[in-house]
Amino acid sequence: MTRSGASTANRTAPGAARDVWGHLVIGAASCVLTVSIVGSLAYIAIRSYRNREDRARILQFVGSLENRTAAELDHAAQELRRRPGLAGRVLPAVVSAARRSGVERRQLGAIRLCSAFIDDTQVQDALFKLRLSLNETIAGEAVRTLAGVRPAERAAEVLSRCLDASTQAAIDHACVGLLELGEPGLAALRPKLPELPSERRAWIAGLIAAKRPASPLFILEPLRIDADATVRTRAVFALGGLSSSDAMAALTKSLDDTEPNVRSAAAHCIGRLIGQDFGADERGVERARRWAARQARASDR
């Protein structure tokens, strides 16, 4: 080997060693996040241990859920789904922890694990019962998880029954879930509207404006004629965010509402949609009516 070749080899060897060492460090670091929780699952899965030791290890695993990150819990869910036999032994304890551990972080961790098994009836039953929890965070997360039930028709039926929850967080998540389910969710939500307090109905009108679900008029029309003027006003503003001819027709009807604020809102929304400023008083409402009348005559010709 020439002196030049030897010099090159001497420079390369330390770099190669550093590369190998770097790979080892990165590999070790990537294991740190999940090694403890996966190790626990592997320990439980070894069949040679007696049942008592097995149960103790499962309880230890469940008791550690409160200290796990979201990434670790998701990885544990993947491991359990990959090993149905192990999941069958661990899941009942996880469901039990979700229902009544008494430790909020542990319950939330258990609920997150349960979300990977949302098609399991025992999981659905446990989460449905948790809708009545007086802990806003627990009840809300349980209902939010139930939105993952499939098919969508089943999820809509379950979420509509969650509207009797004890906390606003649970009711909010039920409403959001129903809107995001599309047609099945809207069909389940509409008959439940009269059972909700007026402030919740007004909030739903605003939520529709933000979420823009398919067929929004299906929900906005009963809200537009709601007994509460605030609800009607919010529904009118939600209609004003739509550009369909059906929305314009509904806004035109609200020009004759018994409440001045609703009439003014309708005139404002119509003006915004057609690029005119009718004003926010009764004269503006009258100008909007005249415009609507001209449009009706033109369409009849």
**Residue type, position 261, single letter:** N
- Give pLDDT tens digits for 125-170: 999 999 999 999 999 999 999 999 999 999 999 999 999 998 999 9
- Give pLDDT tens digits for 45-100: 555 445 677 788 888 999 999 999 999 999 999 999 999 988 998 999 999 999 98
Task: Give pLDDT, residue 37.
Answer: 59
236 within 8 A of 270, measured Cβ to Cβ: no
The DSSP output letter for 102 is: S
- Give pLDDT tens digits for 179-217: 999 999 999 999 999 999 999 999 999 999 888 888 899
- Give pLDDT tens digits for 224-236: 999 999 999 999 9
**Residue type, position 98, single letter:** A
For the chain, the residue count is 301
Task: Give pLDDT, residue 43.
Answer: 58
Please provide the distance, in angstroms rounded to a whole number, between the alpha carbons at the two ends of the chain.
99
The DSSP output letter for 151 is: S
Can you say whether the dihedral through the CA atoms of 74, 79, 80, 82 is positive or negative? positive
* Of residues 269, 263, 267, the one with CA closest to residue 288: 267
**Is the pTM higher than 0.75?**
yes
